[in-house]
Chain A
Amino acid sequence: MKLEMRDQPGQLVAALKPISAVGGNIIAVIHQREATTPAEALAVQIVLELPEGRLERLLELLREQGVNVVRIGEERLLYECTLIMIGHLMHTDLSDTVDQIDRTGSAEVTELSVVMPAIDSPSSARITIRSTNRAEMKRAMRILRAVADQKGLLIIEPLEDA
């Protein structure tokens, strides 16, 4: 989200406090002075992770601190996981496999590279999934494992979590 606050000592801390108060996790604070910002105000972009349903309360607390929320970002897919699949990807309808993930609404396939060496021999694909949170990523992985199992595909997962 993008915030606007008075350019005075202590303001940034005042803006960050409510985030932890509602159980949020600050991932990045980007601090820049823009032409559109009034001279006496400070614009700050904060990337954060928030438990479900806490956004309203956070906005309320920020307003109480006199912080103006300019924009709430769209980018909510914070978790990323790249895996590789091997098998008859086309014969088994790769787009259906991708759809099953996208249909969850909280995770989506954002990148797909497929290598098909020859007709009838197994192809390999690298697939990147992004999700809103860890639990959704786990859910997406479960879906993918089930699909792979059913379609006889081999999934190679990363060693470390997203």
Chain B
Amino acid sequence: MRIAILGFGSVGRGIARVILGKGLDITVTGLADSRSGLIDAGGIDLLAALSKKERGEPCGDPGISPMDVVERAEYDILVEVTPTDVETAEPALGHMRGALRRGRHVVTSNKGPIAIAYPGLRALAEANGVLLRYEATVCGAIPLIHAMQEGLAGNAITRICGVFNGTCNYILTRMAAEGLTYEQALAEARDLGYAEADPTYDVEGIDAAIKLVILANTILDMDTTLDDVERTGITLLSSEALQLAEDQDCTIRLIGEILPEAGVLRVSPRIVAKDHPLVVEGTLNAVTVETDLAGDLTFIGKGAGSTETASAVIGDILYIQSRHVQGY
């Protein structure tokens, strides 16, 4: 099976390493980063491309753009793993549309297009008889979307709530465990590479809110945008507040919650009993899905990371391969 990968950062390289490391029967025929591209129907030398990136060089030919790869490379699945833009969803949205129009499947970890333009993308995929899969967009390694779409098909989902952002969870875990202030815990998260230089997207709950929008629009048949999410971040939390919660065997976590019936989506710090299954440590994610038939299910796992996110992307690729790619 042939894939093209757009974006060769943490996730893109993670995918390449898994393909090489496991000897998967996947040929990469197109590849692009922000400055260059490669097209080779016979299969790109991933090891060479990886070492170029490690030396800080572009992975390919500066004369080949990501859009050239979308339009000219021969692939069965386009793997879109460029950075998320929550306002325009570009350039990923254009890449995906291009591939779907060519009748190629799309797998992505990019939240922008799925949060903003899912209905259109899905219609385009259906019209072209191909699949669009996005497991990696929500909670990294946790196969949450797969579980809800397939495993829990037939259930009515009455509530989804959970810890959707590992950066915030790390900060809150450290504030609770060591009595750190928010600023101290954030600085520590930055040092460890868990928080970006500009942490706004994580700490203001935007990242968690986007994930709620994705779940609401793609699983729960709701029609929501980022503006529909009631959102409070963690920047004003005090170490005293965590202590007050601790005094009652509770703690504080940033919780994303969807109540489909009431049409409520919200991200806010909440008081949670310490023995509650959603109280996970460090950068872990945890999500509880409440259903009518299966009861409550809680999923816990790594929400980010190169290999962990690659796991979700590879899962989607192999899903498509087993069902839809000819010759398999």
A110 CB to closest chain B CB (Å) equals 14
Given contact pairs A158-B271, A159-B161, enumerate 5 new A-B contacts (beta carbons under 8 Å): A115-B243, A115-B244, A123-B240, A158-B250, A159-B278
Question: Does A73 sit within 8 A of B, measured CB to CB?
Answer: no
* Partner-contacting stretch, out of B93-101, B127-135, B230-238: B230-238
Q: Is B248 an interface residue (CB 8 A)?
A: yes
- B175 vs chain A, min Cβ distance (A): 12
Q: Is A83 located at the chain interface by the 8 A CB criterion?
A: yes
Q: Min CB distance, B82 to chain A, in Å?
A: 35
Contact surface of A with B, Cβ cutoff 8 Å: 82-84, 86-87, 113, 115, 117, 122-126, 154, 156-159
Q: How far is the CA of A5 from the CA of B161 in the complex (A)?
A: 48
Q: Report B-chain residues with C-beta under 8 Å of the C-beta of A87.
A: 236
A63 to B191 CA separation, bound complex (whole angstroms): 72
- Give chain B residues whose Cβ lies under 8 Å from the Cβ of A115: 240, 243-244
B269 within 8 Å of A (CB atoms)? yes
The answer to whether A117 and B238 have CB atoms under 8 Å apart is: yes
Q: A115-B243, A156-B271, A157-B271 are in contact. Are A82 and B238 (CB under 8 A)?
A: no
Name the A residues within 8 Å of B276 (CB-CB).
159
Given contacts A156-B269, A159-B255, A159-B278, contact A84 B161 (CB under 8 A): no
Q: Out of A83, A86, A126, A154, name the residue touching B247 (CB < 8 Å).
A: A126
| Contact in complex: A154, B244 (CB < 8 Å) | no
The residue on A at minimum CB distance from B244 is A126
The residues of B that contact A117 with a CB separation of less than 8 Å are: 238, 240
**Contact between chains at B240 and A124 (CB < 8 Å):** yes
* C-alpha gap A84/B244 in the complex (Å): 8
Contact with A along B239-255 (1 / 0, CB 8 A): 01101110110101101
Q: Does B19 contact A (CB under 8 A)?
A: no
In the complex, what distance in Å separates the CA atom of A82 from the CA atom of B248? 10
Classify the secondary structure of A's interface with B.
strand
Also in contact, A156 and B238, with CB within 8 A (given A115-B244, A125-B244, A126-B247): no
Q: A157-B271, A159-B270, A159-B276 are in contact. Are A84 and B252 (CB under 8 A)?
A: yes
Is the CB of B272 closer than 8 A to any CB of chain A? yes
Q: Across the interface, name the chain A residue whose C-beta is closest to B245.
A: A84
* B236 contacts A122, C-beta separation under 8 Å: yes
CB distance from B8 to the nearest CB of A (A): 39
Q: Known: A124-B244, A159-B161. Is A82-B236 also a contact (CB below 8 A)?
A: no
Asked whether any CB of chain A lies closer than 8 Å to the CB of B268, the reply is: yes
Tell me whether A156 and B252 are in contact in the complex, defined as CB-CB below 8 angstroms, given that A82-B271, A83-B271, A84-B271 are known contacts: yes
CB 8 Å contact bits of B256-289 with A (1 = contact, 0 = none): 0000000000001111100010100000000000
Q: How far is it, in angstroms, between the C-alpha of A59 and the C-alpha of B32 when the chains are bound?
A: 79
B236 touching A159 by the CB < 8 A rule?
Answer: no
* Minimum distance in angstroms from A56 CB to a CB of chain B: 34
The answer for the CA separation of A51 and B272 in the assembled complex, in Å, is 30
Instruction: List the B side residues contacting A156 at CB < 8 Å.
Output: 237, 241, 245, 252, 268-271
Smallest Cβ-Cβ distance to B235: which chain A residue: A154
Q: Are B271 and A159 in contact (CB under 8 A)?
A: yes
The minimal Cβ–Cβ distance linking B183 to chain A, given in whole angstroms, is 12
Q: Pick 21 A–B contacts, CB within 8 A, sort by A.
A: A82-B248, A113-B244, A115-B244, A117-B240, A122-B236, A123-B240, A124-B238, A126-B244, A126-B245, A126-B247, A126-B248, A154-B237, A154-B269, A156-B237, A156-B245, A156-B271, A158-B270, A159-B253, A159-B271, A159-B272, A159-B278
How far apart are the CA atoms of A117 and B243 in the complex, in Å?
A: 12
The answer for the CA separation of A32 and B247 in the assembled complex, in Å, is 34
Chain A residue nearest to B236 (CB atoms) is A154
